[in-house]
Structure formats: C-alpha cells, structure tokens
Amino acid sequence: MRERWFGATGRRVPEIAVEGELDVGDALVLDDASDGETLREAHESGRPIVIRTASADEVKAALAHPEVAVALVPPERRELLELDLRELTYGP
C-alpha cells in the first residue's frame, strides 16, 4: 500500500482509503480536484486535501495532483483499494 503525507500533520496515510475508515480530521474534503486555486491554497497552508472518488478514473485523476493526500472511495467500491496506479497510468 502506497502512502502520502497528510498535509503538514507529519502523518502518513494510505493514498486510497475507504470513506469512514480513515480519520480525516480537519482536512479539506472535496468531490473532485478541479479547483486548482483551492488545492494550492490548502496545500500552501499545510491543510490535508482529500478527494471523494467512485471510479478508477476518478482515483487516478485525484492522485495525479501531488497536493492530494488521499482518494476516498465509497464502502461499496472497496475493490478500488487494489488499483495498480502505475499500470493504470503507464500501462502494463
């Protein structure tokens, strides 16, 4: 399982997690990573950024942003925890 820094908290977290199973505290939780200005501001302030996702493409898009700490998946899409992001990004 790959991990990322959770903002400036000093904590490392899995890059993909099931929503409700990871304490996201006061992280900025968004439905997508399309607002670059919001991502930049949160990142510069050290605030963790979490994106809700529901598909492999959404996970890939969220984690393509280095500012994003975690892609949250719904409990009914637990299989997304097993995504091979390297293969998804670069192919087999």
Provide long-range contacts, Cβ within 8 A and 24+ apart, for 23-26.
Answer: 24/48, 24/50, 24/70, 24/72
pLDDT at 92 over 80: no
pLDDT (tens digit, 9 = 90+) per residue, 48-89?
A: 999 999 999 999 999 999 999 999 999 999 999 999 888 877
* pTM for this entry: 0.91
Section 3-14 average pLDDT: 95
